[in-house]
Structure 1
Amino acid sequence: MHARGKRKRAIARATVKEGRNGVTVNGYSLNAIEDPYYREIVSEPLAFVDEDFIQKHDVSITVRGGGKMGQAQAARTALARAIVRFTGSEQTKKKMLDWDRSLLVEDSRRVEPKKFKGPKARARFTKSYR
């Protein structure tokens, strides 16, 4: 079962299938990720399935683009969507939505493009009359 998650510039694809490899992110085991905060974000959807599900299935997540936190949040969304699709459980979906809506629903905010007459998207160059 395939699922996709996006956050800012990061795009994650998650695949769930029968097997015993556990959860891998870009080829690395979830336990091999050094940053505990990153690991916690990615593994959050696993709290909604039993331990038996994790041991009997392979979850492979591929993430590209964006920064570290954007990638973590994209992987989290992709993993949650893949779990809901694979299990087909409305109860799991409802639990996830009640816990945190961003587990299943992407954040539509993107970086606003820079305009002329200013250093950033909304800021304007200062004007002085001397």
Structure 2
Amino acid sequence: MNRTGTILDLGFFLGVWHWEKGFGEGERWVSERQQRRPEEVIAVALADASIHGAIGFERGGAFEVNGVPIELVKPEILRLKAFEPVLLLGRQRFMGVDIRIRVRGGGKTSQIYAIRQSIAKALVAYHQKYVDEQSKKEIKDILGRYDRTLLVADPRRCEPKKFGGRGARARFQKSYR
């Protein structure tokens, strides 16, 4: 028996896999995880060297950054900056959406800016996909009027060093004698 057949048989035995009759797409094996998949959207934000991916789920309105509640994000001074989209739009717009954010790279400040951008982009994407176009437009207008960087990533990146100098543009001093 091939490898996938054994995995399916084992999954069926353990109750993880079951046979599902699809509507218009035929019959297939479905895992328990696929069956209970909530409505979700994925938004990616870049700020300086930080990369963030936010996933918006249909649930109770919690925010997590690397598995930790957003209320515990450090540094405390910039924590309010991460909450800007929530403060601008009001907590009621976020009540049905859980947002999980993964962050890596960059410094603390760029991470905070990327967190706020990914929260804003995830909410806009969620409203576009699962709510209606009108509410998405309202959210984009409110966020865009306050600060455009909540929706648009900063394209500036560090330029790599070239030969003939100490940095990207600096050259070694030239001597004629």
TM-score of the aligned structures, taking structure 2 as reference length: 0.66
Q: Which runs of 4+ in 1 moved over 4 A?
A: none
1: CA distance between counterparts of 2:154 and 2:148? Answer: 10
Question: Which is higher, the Rg of structure 1 or of structure 2?
Answer: 2
Equivalent in 122, 134, 139 of residue 82 of structure 1: 122
2: CA distance between counterparts of 1:36 and 1:43? Answer: 12
Alignment-derived partner of residue 141 in structure 2? 94
| Structure with higher RCO (Cα < 8 A, 6+ apart) | 1
Alignment-derived partner of residue 119 in structure 1? 166
Structure 1 unmatched runs, 5+: none
CA RMSD of superposed structures (Å): 1.9
2: CA distance between counterparts of 1:126 and 1:72? Answer: 40
1:126, CA displacement in angstroms?
2.7
2: CA distance between counterparts of 1:17 and 1:68? Answer: 26
- Residue-pair matches, total: 130
Structure 2 unmatched runs, 5+: 1-40, 129-135
Q: Is the 8 A contact 1:5 1:106 kept in 2?
A: yes
TM-score of the aligned structures, taking structure 1 as reference length: 0.87
Question: Alignment identity in percent?
Answer: 37
